Structure 1
Amino acid sequence: MTKFDEATQAIRVDETTYDVCLDPGYSIGGPLNGGYLMAVALRAVVDASPHAHPVSTSAQFLKAPRPGPARMRVEQLKAGKTAAFARATLLQDDVPQIELLVTTATLNDVEPDYSAEPPHPMPPLEECVRLPAPKPESGMTINAQVEMAFDPPTIGWLSRRPTGRPEARAYFRMAEPQDPDPYVLALAVDALPPVVFSAGGKGWAPTVELTWHLRALPAPGWLTLLGSGRLIADGWFDEEVEVRDSTGRLVAQSRQIARVGRG
């Protein structure tokens, strides 16, 4: 079992309840990463499902849960031969923190009938750059759990030269050797710096709602994350992320609505 597997495990208490322990190693300046929290929730949902894979997840982030003990409550809505539907709630001190609607199914490793080209070409991995190591007091502990190499123009905000467009692109993998799986993909779809940074935004940009789809089981190796946005207005922005595996296959896609941070 990898460290990520341990950090996301859900222990069954009864047919509807799971104990979890939220790991402080996945924080972003204090709050825990939303993708990490979804991975925790999906462990419980899949365990309770007759199907093996979380193919569609919609999460409402009601609060920012703190590291430590928590519980997952899973309610089965309907289970069929090809798909099952569940409602799940992450609770801390009996207070709902995240509400999720999850569809599970069992994906087969088949060639796609059609697959669109990536929305933006990525430079070779050796031409991409890592972000500087965060200061210990920053609370950016997630950086120790993952490796990311960025398309240089999309991190111009580091040197006060943002492109002016909401965008972020990077190669991604876990820091500890681990082949990507659906739970790693849940983390990956929310791993990029907010695309609003590249448009000049600053500060913590909390996710309010995030929906993502598992499209295929990923091959071993680096993932490619391609993030973009369409509108920044009235303190809100959207972010879409496309995830491709080491073979170039589309394996996940997401869209979220979030608040523009204040630096």
Structure 2
Amino acid sequence: MTKFDEATRAIRVDEATYDVCLDPGYSIGGPLNGGYLMAVLLRAVVDASPHEHPVTTGVQFLRVPLPGPAQVRLEQLKAGRTVAMTSATLVQDDRPVIEARVTTATLGDTAPDWTDGPSVAMPPIERCVRLPDPGPESKMTLNAQVEMAFDPPTVGWLAGNPTGRPEARAYFRMAEPQDPDPYVLALAVDALPPVVFSAGALGWAPTVDLTWHLRALPAPGWLTVLGGGRMIGDGWFDEEVEVWDSAGRLVAQSRQLARVGRG
């Protein structure tokens, strides 16, 4: 079992309840990463489902959970031959902190009937850049769990040179050797710096609502994560992410609505 598998483990209490322990190693400046929290929820949902894969997940972030014990409480909405639908709530100190609706199914390993290509061409990984290691006071513990190599223009904001567009792009993999799976994809769709940073708006950008789709089971190797936005206004921004695997297959898509942070 990898460190990520252990950090997202859900232990069955009964058919509708799972115990979890939220790991402090997945924080972004203090709050736990939303993709990590989704992966925790999905472990419980899939374990209780007759199907193997979380094909669509819609999440609303109600409060900021703290590292430590929590529970996932499930309500089965439908259990059909091809799909099951579940309502899942992450609860801590008897308060709901995340609400989700998850549809599970069992995906095959067939080639798509039709597919588009990536929205943006990435440079070779050797021309991409790693971000500097954060200081311990930053509480950016997620950085130790993943490896990311960024398309250089999209991290120009670090040097005071934002592109002026909401965008972020990187190659992604877990720091501990691990083939990507649906739970790693849940982390990947929310692992980029907020795309609004590249538009010049820095600061904590809390996600309010996020939906993501598992489109195919990923091949081993690096993932390519491409993020962009369509509008920033009135204190809100959107972020759309597509994830491609090492075989050039689209494996995940997401869209989220978040608040513009204050630096």
TM-score (norm 2): 1.00
| 1:30 aligned partner | 30
Q: Is 2:215 aligned against 1:215?
A: yes
What is the distance in 2 between the residues matched to 1:246 and 1:204? Answer: 31
Q: Deviations over 1:39-81 (max 9, x none)?
A: 0000000001000000000000000100000000011000101
Percent identity at matched positions? 80
1:78 alignment counterpart: 78
Q: Which amino acid aligns with 2:89?
A: T
Quote the offset at 1:117 in angstroms.
1.1
Q: Hey, what does 2:98 align to over in structure 1?
A: 98
Q: Can you list the C-alpha shifts for 1:117-158, whole angstroms capped at 9, x where unaligned?
A: 110000000000000100111000000000000000000000
Partner of 2:239: 239
- Partners of 1:41 and 1:226 in 2: CA distance: 24
Distance (whole Å) between structure 2 residues aligned to residue 261 and residue 247 of structure 1: 36
Distance 1:111 1:97 in 2: 38
- The residue that corresponds to 1:6 in the other structure is 6
Aligned pairs for 1:1-263 (under 5 A) are 1-263=1-263
Structure 1: segments with no counterpart, 5+ residues = none
Deviations 1:204-236 (A, max 9, x none): 100000000000000000000000000000000
- How far apart, in 1, do the equivalents of 2:212 and 2:203 lie? 24
**1:67-119 deviations in Å (ceiling 9; x for gaps):** 00000001100010110000000000110000000000000000100000110
- Matched residues in 2 for 1:78 and 1:102: separation? 11
Following superposition, the deviation at residue 168 of structure 1 comes to 0.2
CA distance in structure 1 between the partners assigned to 2:106 and 2:201 by the alignment: 40
Whole-angstrom distance in 2 between the partners of 1:212 and 1:150 = 22
Q: Report the Cα distance in structure 1 between the residues aligned to 2:234 and 2:108, rounded to whole angstroms.
A: 43
Tell me how far apart the structure 2 counterparts of residues 170 and 111 of structure 1 sit (CA, whole Å).
25
**2: CA distance, partners of 1:223 / 1:77:** 33
Structure 1 residue matching 2:11: 3-state secondary structure: strand
CA distance in 1, matches of 2:95, 2:111: 44
> Residues of 2 paired with 1:135 and 1:218: CA distance?
33
What letter matches 1:159 in structure 2?
A: A
The AA in structure 2 aligned to 1:41 is L
Distance 1:201 1:135 in 2: 22
Please give the alpha-carbon distance, in whole angstroms, between the structure 2 residues aligned to 1:252 and 1:137. 33
Aligned residue identity for 1:108? G
- Which ranges of structure 2 fall in alignment gaps of 5 or more residues? none
For 2:217 and 2:37, the matched residues in 1 are separated by 20
